């Protein structure tokens, strides 16, 4: 049974990652981001990472801290603050390599990786700058139509980081809320998926059998689980809590003044997760953040 | 109450979304979203809208502050199945506000100036524009019609495809490109000219074709059929109900009236 006990600490999860790896980060913009795990990476000496993300503050912080060699993205945004300030600084300084994609191509690349295919064909990208600037190739249909399409390469991940509401010790997950975005495909595109959760239970069938449909990917895709209450903060985790707009405003302000990450990392990341949660008012304050209205 | 230019634009957006099909109408930003809602509540009930998050609603959700649960889901269309259901099936018409638009209808939401590796100004990223542009109908709302938006030559980065023969590869299928209307603070334009060239089809009250041409970085075709109509009182009532907090009054600079005072 020990092989099916996938519990780890956040530090043990980050200990399984290596500099130079390709990491997929679940969630979408300022929503459902595995921020506790991202903060643990920020506390580590990992570097030269290729980050694949529907980007929010995860991307901004990792870019600001100089952890990113290459970014694969379709946007990086904090929603109500449309332009992610630290990502913008890194880009305008020419600090990172990029592959800019369309949101649909992006999930198509994750699906190609999940299905162990080298690419999947699509019309998306035709007539835009993404194909030529991104070095994407085309492929011709072998059938009578002979259509030429973009060959979206597999976005193979060394590891995926995902935050959900519930996990059990064996890696059964439950992701609640109105939308789980592409977390399922991040998990399946990765050699190893590590999942943090608001609540870790010994056995899902005993704790929450009535919510089995929230099991958005199966446990065979899960390598490690860890409990991180408030682990999506400052991003939203409906129905548990909303995003922290006050936090985003000070984070955005800090990109201008003082404008250098080294002097604000301690405040934005904390020396430990306990330290971080205390700095934002504790788990009760996180739980009280109102859900965003769109 | 004076009818505002914002309200005239919302009615023009609604007209751009007129359809007898069932498809998802997406308006990004207050005026496009209110226009889609207005179309759905009046002449185009087949339109489908989300609450902006994940649920399909038959009564468009009012914009601005509201209770989180003040929505009545009739269906479900989360981002996690948006490409399967709405975008790659062609069952959508979106209206967006790109940073740049060129004579071919190519748009830019990615970056300004510089290089791929180091842009002068990094913007949002291509988002879903490339897929929207190749698969379904698209319109645009431009709140400040100027040569900075409607650029000479080509946009700095092509985020969504247009009608540019130089950007075609042999064997590619571009049949899904379907550019509809551009509603601005000055006029309404379409792509009805030769080779899909952009034409001015109606001018807002008090605006001349020369005003529009002077604010545009490429040559426009004058196909003006008249003034953009003022919203009816029924339309104004619907707009007020969809925007109880008056968000529409903050979109256009100085919230001008629809008909300028002499």
**Residues A146 and A215 grouped into a single domain:** no
The answer on pLDDT for B100 being more than 80 is yes
Q: Which domains does chain B have, with CATH numbers?
A: 5-250 (3.40.1080.10)
- What's the token pair of residue B148? 């900075």
**B83 and A107: CB-CB below 8 Å?**
yes
Q: Residue A26 and residue A39: Cα distance in Å, rounded?
A: 14
**Residues A163 and A40 grouped into a single domain:** yes
**Residues A279 and A179 grouped into a single domain:** yes
Share of chain B above pLDDT 90, in %: 96
Share of chain A above pLDDT 90, in %: 99
Domain that holds residue A74: 2-100+156-287
Q: Residue A156 and residue B15: Cα distance in Å, rounded?
A: 45
- Parallel, antiparallel, or unpaired: how do β-strands A222-227 and B23-27 relate? unpaired
Q: Residue A189 and residue A53: Cα distance in Å, rounded?
A: 13
- What's the token pair of residue B179? 């550019």
B128 has a chain A CB within 8 A of its CB? yes
B57 has a chain A CB within 8 A of its CB? no
Q: Residue B74 and residue B56: Cα distance in Å, rounded?
A: 6
Q: Residue A37 and residue A35: Cα distance in Å, rounded?
A: 5
Q: Give yes or no for a contact between B133 and B110, defined as CB atoms under 8 angstroms apart.
A: no
**Residues A75 and A165 grouped into a single domain:** yes
**Residues A179 and A141 grouped into a single domain:** no
pLDDT at A3: 66
**A75 and B83: CB-CB below 8 Å?**
no
**Residues A219 and A278 grouped into a single domain:** yes
Distance of CA A258 to the CA centre of its chain: 27
Q: What is the pLDDT of residues A38-51, one digit of tens each?
A: 999 999 999 999 99
- What's the token pair of residue B89? 């099936």
Q: Which domain-ending residue is among A153, A179, A197?
A: A153
Residue A56 within any structural domain of the chain? yes
The answer on pLDDT for B262 being more than 70 is no
Interface confidence (ipTM) of the complex:
0.96
- What's the token pair of residue A131? 């194909």
CATH number of the CATH domain containing A75 = 3.40.1080.10
**Residues A40 and A85 grouped into a single domain:** yes
pLDDT at B261: 82
- Which of B54, B121, B177 has its CB closest to that of A178? B54
Q: What is the pLDDT of residues A231-267, one digit of tens each?
A: 999 999 999 999 999 999 999 999 999 999 999 999 9
Q: What is the pLDDT of residues A71-93, one digit of tens each?
A: 999 999 999 999 999 999 999 99
**B159 and A128: CB-CB below 8 Å?**
yes
Q: Residue A5 and residue A2: Cα distance in Å, rounded?
A: 5
Question: Which segments within B44-185 are labelled E, that is strand?
Answer: 47-50, 55-57, 73-76, 92-96, 100-101, 107-108, 111-112, 121-122, 137-142, 178-184
Total number of domains constituting chain A: 2
Q: What is the pLDDT of residues A177-225, one digit of tens each?
A: 999 999 999 999 999 999 999 999 999 999 999 999 999 999 999 999 9
Residue A143 within any structural domain of the chain? yes
The answer on pLDDT for A1 being more than 70 is no
Most trustworthy range by pLDDT among B10-14, B71-75, B78-82? B10-14
Torsion, Cα of A8, A12, A13, A15 (10° steps):
-160
Q: Give yes or no for a contact between B227 and B203, defined as CB atoms under 8 angstroms apart.
A: yes
**A107 and B158: CB-CB below 8 Å?**
no
């Amino acid at each position: 049974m020990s092989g099916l006990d996938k519990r780890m600490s956040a530090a043990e999860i980050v200990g399984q990652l290596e500099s130079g790896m390709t990491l997929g980060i679940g969630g979408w913009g300022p929503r459902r981001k595995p921020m506790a795990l991202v903060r643990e990476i920020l506390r580590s000496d990992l570097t030269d990472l290729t980050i694949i993300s529907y980007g929010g503050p995860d991307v901004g912080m990792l870019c600001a801290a100089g952890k990113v060699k290459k970014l694969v993205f379709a946007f990086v945004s904090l929603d109500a603050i449309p332009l992610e300030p630290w990502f913008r600084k890194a880009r305008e300084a020419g600090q990172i390599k990029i592959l800019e994609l369309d949101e649909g191509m992006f999930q198509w690349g994750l699906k190609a990786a999940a299905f162990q295919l080298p690419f999947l064909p699509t019309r998306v990208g035709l007539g835009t700058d993404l194909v030529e600037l991104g070095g994407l190739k085309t492929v011709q249909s072998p059938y009578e139509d002979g259509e030429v399409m973009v060959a979206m390469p597999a976005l193979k991940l060394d590891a995926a980081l995902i935050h959900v509401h519930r996990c059990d010790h064996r890696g059964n997950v439950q992701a609640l809320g109105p939308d789980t975005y592409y977390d399922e495909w991040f998990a399946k595109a990765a050699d190893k998926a590590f999942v943090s959760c608001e609540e870790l239970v010994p056995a899902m069938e005993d704790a929450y059998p009535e919510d089995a449909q929230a099991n958005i990917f199966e446990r065979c895709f899960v390598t490690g689980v860890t409990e991180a209450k408030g682990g999506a903060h400052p991003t939203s985790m409906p129905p548990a809590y909303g995003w922290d707009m006050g936090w985003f405003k000070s984070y955005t302000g800090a990109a201008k003044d003082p404008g250098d990450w080294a002097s604000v990392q301690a405040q934005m990341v904390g020396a430990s997760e306990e330290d971080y949660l205390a700095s934002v008012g504790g788990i009760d304050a996180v739980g009280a953040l109102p859900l965003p209205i769109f | 109450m004076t009818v505002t230019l914002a309200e005239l634009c919302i009615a023009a957006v609604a007209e751009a979304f007129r359809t007898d099909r069932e498809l998802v109408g997406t308006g990004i930003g207050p005026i496009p979203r209110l226009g889609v809602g207005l179309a759905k509540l009046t002449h185009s009930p087949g339109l489908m809208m989300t609450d902006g998050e994940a649920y399909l609603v038959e009564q468009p959700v009012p914009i601005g502050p509201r209770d989180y649960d003040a929505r009545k889901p009739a269906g479900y269309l989360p981002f996690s199945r948006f490409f399967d259901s709405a975008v790659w099936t062609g069952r959508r018409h979106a209206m967006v506000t790109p940073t740049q638009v060129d004579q071919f209808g190519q748009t830019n939401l990615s970056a300004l100036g510089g290089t791929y590796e180091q842009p002068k100004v990094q913007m949002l990223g291509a988002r879903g524009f490339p897929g929207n542009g190749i698969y379904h109908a698209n319109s645009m709302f431009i709140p400040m019609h100027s040569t900075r938006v409607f650029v000479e030559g080509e946009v700095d980065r092509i985020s969504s495809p247009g009608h540019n023969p130089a950007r075609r590869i042999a064997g590619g299928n571009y049949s899904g490109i379907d550019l509809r209307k551009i509603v601005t603070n000055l006029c309404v334009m379409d792509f009805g000219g030769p080779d899909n060239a952009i034409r001015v089809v109606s001018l807002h009250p008090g605006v001349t074709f020369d005003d529009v041409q002077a604010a545009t970085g490429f040559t426009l075709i004058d196909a003006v059929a008249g003034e953009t109509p003022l919203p009816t009182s029924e339309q104004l009532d619907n707009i007020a109900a969809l925007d109880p907090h008056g968000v529409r009054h903050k979109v256009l600079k100085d919230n001008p009236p629809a008909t300028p005072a002499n």
